[in-house]
């Protein structure tokens, strides 16, 4: 597994995006200054790269069936970080007249979005190749490392800070190449079947993983996508009422330090608590913090409330990236979509929410400046919308389960009779499992474990599905093996198949 330090290269990509777009590291570069209206300049600064990023991600998803996954094209491993770094360099260049500087700024923003889109997907594909234990170790450590890198950049100034941020995508690309080079096919063919220098995704569940039609892919996400989009929108919005960097009593570095502490707490919850890495877990963490952010603005106003809201906004963005990386990797492993589609769609939701937050912030700021609406009522409306969003999303249980059913999901055009047969087969399977469990005296929990193991699920999957610790899952599995008189996973599966 990724015991090598280069497996943490995702941290450089996270640090790059946070330094460049989320924490104002380069907000004062010449391209923004060349535009007369500061608010409009910030709006454009947020829109150009995000639009390019979203369009590129959508293109990657649509074209996968014809062109293959990005990981199957070796040149992308070098081209995407190079384009992203060159684009970042364009953002800090100035020209004469000011129109030239603005043009460089626009070109750099668009290219940054284009190049980083492939990096997001490539790292997403890589995380799909990891076991749950590997992902749960690497992703939190990478996120915390990204926070430390961002903290270091915030203490720099001038060309030194610019040079470090420009180098981040290149470092991420180098780590990505090294990480993929070191990967070997996992037991059971989870991922990375090497043939002629190309890598093809193979789901751990054994399901066919052909690209799903994009409309069907959106349907498969249920309300998850809408919920993720909404959380990102409000997280982005909550942090916009405090200007970065600001000359307040508290230095901006406190925000990053608090974000790192929040990430450490979240990482401990991910690795130590018996919880599933899912959208439900996301909402348990994110939605209350978003409400607190807007409440702080209402109660304390500026600068205290806006400072706390900015702190929560930055910490929540880090956490969103962490959980989405883990969640959509597991979504791909379930066989419902390819790794490219899963990771691409996850980052589309994230960045589309950011884009909507930038747009709403621009509109809200202009309304507030004109005096047509007060800040407190606006935040109260946001709180109400967050609550409505959570209620709507949590009402759909499918949104929080990566294994929606135990048979390959048919396309929308599938015949109703096919789905009925699948449902009947599933009911028959469960009935036979219960009969076998009763005959051998399995407890209710052992029956649940037996049902999952008989489908070929792993101990980490059992742990996540039943919301128990890994040790407990292993103990139940040991008891199941003993009572059924089998000595291996294959014997257990064969036994279930014979019963069926």
The burial class, CB within 10 Å (0-12 / 13-18 / 19+), for 98 is middle
For the beta carbon of residue 427, count every other beta carbon within 10 angstroms.
10
Terminal-to-terminal C-alpha distance of the chain: 37
pLDDT tens per residue, range 348-391: 999 999 999 888 888 887 776 665 668 888 899 999 999 888 87
pLDDT tens per residue, range 213-250: 777 777 767 677 888 899 999 998 888 887 655 555 56
Between CA 296 and CA 308 the distance in angstroms is: 7
Find out whether 243 and 306 touch, Cβ atoms under 8 Å: no
* Domain assignment of residue 187, given as a range: 5-191+215-400
Whole-model pTM? 0.75
* Residues paired with residue 199 on neighbouring β-strands, in sequence order: 194
Say how many domains are in the chain: 2
Report CA-CA distances (Å) from 220 to 82, 330, 423: 34, 14, 18
Q: Can you give the length of the chain in residues?
A: 500
Q: Which among 277, 224, 218 is positioned nearest to 389, based on CA atoms?
A: 224
Q: Is 449 helix (H, G, I), strand (E, B) or coil?
A: helix
Q: Which of 352, 368, 400 finishes a domain? A: 400
The burial class, CB within 10 Å (0-12 / 13-18 / 19+), for 236 is buried
Kindly tell me if the per-residue pLDDT of 98 is higher than 70: no
Secondary structure element (H or E) that encloses residue 195, with its range: strand 193-195
One domain, residues 380 and 435: no
Q: What is the DSSP letter of 199?
A: E
One domain, residues 384 and 450: no
Q: Is 228 helix (H, G, I), strand (E, B) or coil?
A: helix
Cis omega (within 30 of 0) for bond into 303:
yes
Q: What is the residue-wise DSSP string for 149-189?
A: HHHHHHT--HHHHHHHHHHHHHHHHHHHHHHHHH--PPTT-
One domain, residues 331 and 434: no
One domain, residues 163 and 309: yes
pLDDT tens per residue, range 413-459: 334 444 445 455 566 677 778 888 888 888 888 888 888 888 777 78
298 or 496: which carries more pLDDT confidence?
A: 298
One domain, residues 266 and 383: yes
One domain, residues 392 and 422: no
Q: What is the residue-wise DSSP string for 313-336?
A: HHHHHHHHHHHHHHHHHHHHHTTS
* Residues paired with residue 193 on neighbouring β-strands, in sequence order: 200
One domain, residues 155 and 92: yes
One domain, residues 264 and 377: yes
Q: Is 129 helix (H, G, I), strand (E, B) or coil?
A: coil
Between CA 41 and CA 450 the distance in angstroms is: 59
Find out whether 67 and 340 touch, Cβ atoms under 8 Å: no
Looking only at Cα atoms, what is the longest distance across the chain?
84
Lowest average pLDDT, out of 63-77, 198-212, 455-469, goes to 198-212
For 188: left if phi > 0, alpha if psi spans -120 to 50, otherwise beta; the answer is: left
Query: Is residue 197 included in any domain, yes or no?
Result: no
One domain, residues 445 and 396: no
Kindly tell me if the per-residue pLDDT of 208 is higher than 50: no
**Alpha helices (H) in 92-157, listed in sequence order:** 98-128, 132-154
Between CA 356 and CA 353 the distance in angstroms is: 5
One domain, residues 316 and 358: yes
Query: Is residue 407 included in any domain, yes or no?
Result: no
Average pLDDT, the chain: 77
One domain, residues 369 and 484: no
Kindly tell me if the per-residue pLDDT of 179 is higher than 60: yes
Whole-number CA gyration radius for the chain: 24
Q: What is the CATH number of the domain that holds 172?
A: 1.20.1250.20
* Residues paired with residue 198 on neighbouring β-strands, in sequence order: 195
Between CA 62 and CA 258 the distance in angstroms is: 39
One domain, residues 342 and 482: no
Q: Which of 400, 431, 447 finishes a domain? A: 400
């Amino acid at each position: 597994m990724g015991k090598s330090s280069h497996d943490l290269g995702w941290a450089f990509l996270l640090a790059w995006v946070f330094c460049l777009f989320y924490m104002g590291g380069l907000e004062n570069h010449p391209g923004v200054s060349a535009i007369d209206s500061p608010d409009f300049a910030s709006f454009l600064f947020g829109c150009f790269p995000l639009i390019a990023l979203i369009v590129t991600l959508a293109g990657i998803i649509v074209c996968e069936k014809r062109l293959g996954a990005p990981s199957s094209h070796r040149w992308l491993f070098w081209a995407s970080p190079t384009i992203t770094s060159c684009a970042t360099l364009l953002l800090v260049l100035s020209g004469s007249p000011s129109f030239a500087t603005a043009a460089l700024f626009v070109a750099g923003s668009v290219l940054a979005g284009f190049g980083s889109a492939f990096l997001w997907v490539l790292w997403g594909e890589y995380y799909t190749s990891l076991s749950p234990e590997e992902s749960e170790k690497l992703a939190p450590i990478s996120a915390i490392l990204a926070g430390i890198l961002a903290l270091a950049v915030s203490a720099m100034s001038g060309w030194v800070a610019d040079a470090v941020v420009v180098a981040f995508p290149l470092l991420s690309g180098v780590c990505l190449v090294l990480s993929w080079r070191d990967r070997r096919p996992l037991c059971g063919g989870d991922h990375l079947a090497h043939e002629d220098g190309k890598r093809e995704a193979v789901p751990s569940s054994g399901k066919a993983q052909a690209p799903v039609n994009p409309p069907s892919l959106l349907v498969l996400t249920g309300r998850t996508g809408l919920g993720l989009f909404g959380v990102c929108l409000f997280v982005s919005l909550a942090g916009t009422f405090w200007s970065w960097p600001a000359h307040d009593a508290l230095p901006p570095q406190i925000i990053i330090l608090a974000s790192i502490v929040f990430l450490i707490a979240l990482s401990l919850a991910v690795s130590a608590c018996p919880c599933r890495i899912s959208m439900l877990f996301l909402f348990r963490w994110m939605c209350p913090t978003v409400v607190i952010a807007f409440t702080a603005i209402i109660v304390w106003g500026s600068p205290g409330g806006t400072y706390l809201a900015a702190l929560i906004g930055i910490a929540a963005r880090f956490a969103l990236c962490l959980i989405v990386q883990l969640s959509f990797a597991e979504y791909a492993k379930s066989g419902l979509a390819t790794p490219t589609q899963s990771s691409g769609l996850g980052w589309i939701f994230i960045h589309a929410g950011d884009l909507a937050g930038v747009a709403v912030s621009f509109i809200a700021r202009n309304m507030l400046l004109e005096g047509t609406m007060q800040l407190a009522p606006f935040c109260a409306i946001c709180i109400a919308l967050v609550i409505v969003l959570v209620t709507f999303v949590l009402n759909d249980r499918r949104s929080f389960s990566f294994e929606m059913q135990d048979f390959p999901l048919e396309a929308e055009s599938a015949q109703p009779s096919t789905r009925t047969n699948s449902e009947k087969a599933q009911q028959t399977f469960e009935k036979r499992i219960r009969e076998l469990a009763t005959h051998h005296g399995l407890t209710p929990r052992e029956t649940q474990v037996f049902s999952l193991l008989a489908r070929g699920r792993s101990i980490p999957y059992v742990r996540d599905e039943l919301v128990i610790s890994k040790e407990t899952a292993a103990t139940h599995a040991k008891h199941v093996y003993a009572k059924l008189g089998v000595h291996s996973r294959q014997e257990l599966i064969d036994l279930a198949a014979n019963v069926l």
